[in-house]
A and B are shown apart, each in its own frame.
Chain A
Amino acid sequence: MELSWSTFLLEIINFLILVWILKHFFYAPVVSVIERRRKGIEDSLAQADAMRSEAKQVEDQYKARLSQWETEKKQAREALDKEINDERARLMEALQSAVDKEREKAKVLETRRVSELQRKNEQQAMNNAAQFTSKLLGRLASPEMENKICELLLEELPRLPPERLEALGNVFSSDETPIAAQAAVKVSSAYDLTEQCCNSIKTALSDLVGKPIECKFARDPQLIAGLRINFGPLVLRANLHDELQLFIESANESA
């Protein structure tokens, strides 16, 4: 073992050359490519960060827009609810008014229908009563009853109302009235009148109008009992049939 100075110096030079070779042909290119790759990775990361921040910004904008839309939707819904409530209240009010009117109308119609029904019932009752009375009186009627009615007529004639008496007098006192019409006093009865009764009637009528008049007697079984005297346009009714008709008419008129 001995130290060779030439080897010592040559090895120092060799190693310094080796350092230079490795630095320029190995270390520097490898470090350069590592740096290039690192820079590429950093650029990619920076680009990814930029994209991420951009995406975050877009996301924030989207969220803000969503929030704004939500607010607008809420406001629109509130406005729509208010409008619906107002419209509902208005329609309910109109409907209530229409229902009230309809109810009032129905009430009036019901009242009218009830009234009409009541009137018809009353009229029907009157007709039934008249028919019942007519049948009853028809069975009770007799010449004696007719004579009684005739006597009653003769008693009542002088007590006729003044306007009736005046009207009768005008019929027979008018110059324009023909003699035939004066002779057309028609006396209808349900039964045949006796001669005395006929004369009494003729006398009473002549006294009533203050002139002698001719009477034409006829029989009309519909009168049930009593007389009907036609003075031209005027008619004196003293029979059960006309009384019943008068009763029915007056009842209908009052209804």
Chain B
Amino acid sequence: MQESEVFSTVLFTIGPVEVTDTVVTTWGIMAVLALAGWLISRQLQTQPKKIQVMAEGIVTAVEENIEAAMPQYSKAVVPFIMALWIFLVLANLAGLIPGLHSPTRDLSLTAGLALLVFLSVHWFGIRTQGLKRYLQHYLTPSPILLPFHIISEITRTVALAVRLFGNMMSLEMVALLLLMVGGFLVPVPILMLHIVEALVQAYIFGMLALIYIAGAIQSQQLRQEVNQEQKQSKTQAEQKTREDIHNEE
């Protein structure tokens, strides 16, 4: 078993930049998506055809999922999450094409996507709440928990990257081992499992990203609501105390 059959290989270099097969496959996927998006957008009309119905179904399904998690800021998050889901589905399934490997079996890609998710979580949190108020939530309920918050942010990002990378790499490795041990057509059941696993992992990655972003936005809102309720209850209690004193007098 050659190492290049499982791990990415450098196809060429542009100066100091090494271009691996992962990057090339990603470009191919981007080209396919760009071409498909351009063709679909050219044929859009009020009375939809089959392709348009499928495209609208994808967009509507993504929007509904995101609105269920974060109703107020769904419009801003939809392009990012939808791009994640669509790209990951195609990237995961690309390994089924003979001669190609899933780009997601490369830790560099999954780490890059995880880093983007990490950054987008803070980007949407700061964008919706403001920098100061967003950073305050790391100090609640107590500043003592700040290190744990930071560790949580880092570990969940690393987990996001390693989970996808591990699953996809292991699938390809198992298929390759079965091919080497059993021969031609033996890995077919594993390839069927590959399809399911590809869809599941893409859904998990996108859903976790969505949950992280929603958590960053709504934790601040939740804290504000709790503070408001506490203020209201405190005001009501003070007013009741004044009324009792007034009645006693």
Contact = CB atoms under 8 A, between A and B. Distances in A.
Given A8-B109, A10-B23, 16 more contacts: A2-B107, A4-B18, A6-B17, A7-B23, A8-B115, A10-B19, A12-B112, A12-B116, A15-B112, A18-B30, A19-B80, A22-B82, A25-B38, A25-B41, A26-B55, A27-B78
B112 A8 contact: yes
Contact of B27 (A14, A23, A34): A14
Nearest to A11: B112
Interface in B12-69: 16-20, 22-23, 26-27, 29-30, 33-34, 36-38, 40-41, 44-46, 48, 52, 55-56, 59-60
Interface of A: 1-12, 14-19, 21-23, 25-27, 29-34, 36-37, 40
B86 A3 contact: no
Contact of A30 (B40, B83, B106): B40
A1 B55 contact: no
A29 B27 contact: no
Contacts of A2: 7, 107
A29 B37 CA distance: 9
A4 B52 CA distance: 39
B214 interface: no
B87 interface: yes
B201 interface: no
Interface of B: 7-8, 16-20, 22-23, 26-27, 29-30, 33-34, 36-38, 40-41, 44-46, 48, 52, 55-56, 59-60, 78-80, 82-83, 86-87, 103, 106-109, 111-113, 115-116, 169
Nearest to A4: B108
A147 B109 CA distance: 188
Given A26-B41, A33-B45, A11 B109 contact: yes
Closest 3 CB pairs of A and B: A26-B37, A25-B37, A7-B108
Contacts of A25: 34, 37-38, 41
A10 B17 contact: yes
A1 B107 contact: yes
A5 B20 CA distance: 11
A22 B17 contact: no
Contact of A15 (B34, B59, B113): B113
Interface SS of A by simple majority: helix
A34 B80 contact: no
Nearest to B35: A25
Contacts of A40: 46
A6 B41 contact: no
A25 B80 CA distance: 14
- B27, B36, B40, B83 — which one has the most chain A CB atoms within 10 A of its CB? B83
22 contacts: A1-B7, A1-B169, A3-B107, A3-B111, A6-B19, A7-B106, A8-B108, A8-B115, A11-B26, A11-B108, A12-B116, A18-B87, A19-B79, A21-B33, A22-B86, A25-B37, A26-B40, A27-B82, A30-B44, A33-B45, A33-B48, A36-B46
B107 A19 contact: no
A21 B30 contact: yes
A54 to B, nearest CB: 26
Nearest to A5: B108
Nearest to B40: A26
B116 A18 contact: no
B89 to A, nearest CB: 13
A88 to B, nearest CB: 73
- A4, A8, A14 — which one has the most chain B CB atoms within 10 A of its CB? A4
A26 B87 CA distance: 13
Nearest to A21: B34
A34 B112 contact: no
Contacts of A34: 56, 59-60
Nearest to A7: B108
Contacts of A27: 59, 78-79, 82
B112 A33 contact: no
Contacts of B38: 25
A208 B99 CA distance: 192
Contacts of A4: 8, 18, 20, 106, 108
Contact of A7 (B20, B56, B82, B83): B20
